[in-house]
Amino acid sequence: MMKHAWLNVIFLSMVAAAAPACAEEVLACETQSVNFKKREFRCPLTVKANAQQIRFKANFTGSHDDTQLSMTLTLDGLPVTCSKGSKTWLNSEDGDVSLDCHLVLDGAAGAQRMLRATVNIYHAEFAGIQLSAL
């Protein structure tokens, strides 16, 4: 349990340092499991307004010609369809790269929702995630 607490502290520090100075609200996720090939996140969300825009972003370093990255998301156990412009998989790109999913969070204000993300990693170093409400 202490391990997860430290991961949350590290994550929140990374997000605070990387957060833009605009109207984005930074949200928190809990790490469910971690290994070199897969990371799983659990992100409790509270609906603030109907059709609220949410962005989940996973960052990586050291990507190169044989790197393969992908992620899948669910909302309350149902698969998420990311909005146009999202990037949920990547092959053979060099340098610092990221995956991201833009989605719409529907429901009555105050409703509790659960976003889960699974990030699959092959030949890149995981650098962290950012979850924000736009």
Mean pLDDT calculated for residue range 101-112:
93
**CATH (domain of 107):** 2.60.120
pLDDT at res. 30: 92
129's tokens: 């995630």
Residue 53 to residue 133: CA distance in whole angstroms? 6
Grouping H, G, I as helix, E, B as strand and the rest as coil, residue 19 is coil
Q: What's the pLDDT score for residue 11? A: 45
Give the model's pLDDT for residue 59: 96
The C-alpha atoms of residue 106 and residue 111 are separated, in whole angstroms, by: 9
Write out the residue range of the structural domain in which residue 70 sits: 2-133
Q: What is the pLDDT of residue 13?
A: 44
**Does the pLDDT value for residue 5 go beyond 80?**
no
**On the CB side of 68, how many CA atoms lie within 13 Å of its CA?**
5
Rg (the chain; Cα; Å):
15
Question: Can you tell me whether residue 7 is helix, strand or coil?
Answer: helix
- Angle in degrees, CA 42, 47, 50, rounded to 5: 135
User: d(Cα 30, Cα 7) in Å, to the nearest integer?
Assistant: 8
> 53-82: per-residue pLDDT in tens?
999 999 999 998 999 999 999 999 999 999
Rounded distance between C-alpha atoms, residue 80 and residue 102, angstroms: 10
pLDDT confidence bin for 26, thresholds 50/70/90 = confident
Residue scoring higher pLDDT (32 or 22): 32
Tell me the average pLDDT across 90-104: 94
- Band (pLDDT 50/70/90 cuts) for residue 23 is low
Check whether 39 has a pLDDT greater than 80.
yes
Domain count, the chain: 1
Is the pTM higher than 0.85? The answer reads no
